[in-house]
Amino acid sequence: MTLPPKLTDRTALALHRARAARGPELFLHRLAVDELSERLSEVNRSFTAPAIVGPWGAEWRDWLVADGVIAGAEVVADADPLQLTPGAHDLVIHALSLHWADDPVGQLVQMRRALAPDGLGIAVLFAGRSLQELRASLAEAETALRGGLSPRVVPMADLRDLGGLLQRAGFALPVADSLVQTLTYADLFALVRDLRGMGEGNALAARERAMPPRGLFAAAAAQYAASFPAEDGRIKATAEIVFLTGWAPSDSQQQPLRPGSAKMRLADALGAEERRAGDPVAPPRRKP
């Protein structure tokens, strides 16, 4: 059996994260936690056994504790397999690292298995429109310099596709929505510094190992400034943060009615006249 190609070089990713830990830039993580805290505060229950998955899980735990939505949490790495005890948690949060997973559905399945019945799972990840400007500028510059391009930005799925992952992983009542932020930077190099501060440098397994073409990043910076300008000579950068929310199945949850069990006809509920297929439609009456 041929195994699918690996998305991520985990050794390179670990090095990027270790370097970032010396001076992290986690403002997008803090933004995601603010949004998450608001959502959790609207859930009518107290979580007594939460777990947080991801390299910045300790920071997320401390922020969520400070926000008063949890009292503490077990923190585990996002390496496969996830070190989560089956059925031991009433809340599992995947904290902005699922976009690096070689098997995101597999990690969602492990999250669900770690939940007690009716436990809540939330995966937060970068997606879709994130870094679309950087991706386009690098591709344009590299194609012009060498007639082709190499992988430099992690591929990110669209919200529409991500929503289906929850159902594939066996979650009940799945919901997928996103938070889009437009950031501005002095130039491409300032953006790259922030990416390094988040541990989000190029850790793709298929990345080119050789030295990049001379002048590539200068050309990409010029292309970026021309194509995606912001006020005061700055550039725009998009960050899309997706929240995938689902519940571990439980008999206590609302269930759809069985087909044929309705007690009222749809036509009666809508106050409409019911016609059989093929019946002629009366022309609309003219106003007097």
State the maximum Cα–Cα separation within the chain, in Å, rounded to a whole number. Answer: 80
Summarize pLDDT for 61-79 with one digit per residue, the tens: 999 999 999 999 999 999 9
Distance between CA 43 and CA 288 in Å, rounded? Answer: 54
Contact at 8 Å (CB) between 135 and 206? no
Give 142's pLDDT tier (boundaries 50, 70, 90).
Answer: very high
- Average pLDDT, whole number, for the chain? 90
Determine phi and psi for 88, rounding to 5 degrees. -95, -5
* 65: number of Cβ within 10 Å: 13
Q: What is the pLDDT of residues 81-108, one digit of tens each?
A: 999 999 999 999 999 999 999 999 999 9
The end-to-end CA distance of the chain, in Å, is 75
Mutual angle of helices 159-168 and 104-114, in 10-degree steps: 50
**Binning pLDDT at 50, 70 and 90, where does residue 258 land?**
low
Check whether 113 has a pLDDT greater than 90: yes
* pLDDT-based confidence at residue 250 (cuts at 50, 70, 90): confident
Q: In this predicted model, what pLDDT tens digit does every residue of 167-188 receive, in sequence order?
A: 999 999 999 999 999 999 999 9
Question: Is residue 255's pLDDT more than 70?
Answer: no
Confidence at residue 1, expressed as pLDDT on a 0 to 100 scale = 45
pLDDT exceeds cutoff 90 at 116: yes
Higher pLDDT, 235 or 274: 235
Residue pointed to by tokens 């992690």: 154
pTM for this one?
A: 0.85
The model's pLDDT over 196-237, given as tens digits with 9 standing for 90+, comes to 999 999 999 999 888 888 899 999 999 999 999 999 999 999
Give me the pLDDT at residue 264, please. 60
Share of the chain above pLDDT 90, in %: 76
The predicted model gives 131-156 an average pLDDT of 92
Query: Domain 10-249 class?
Result: alpha beta
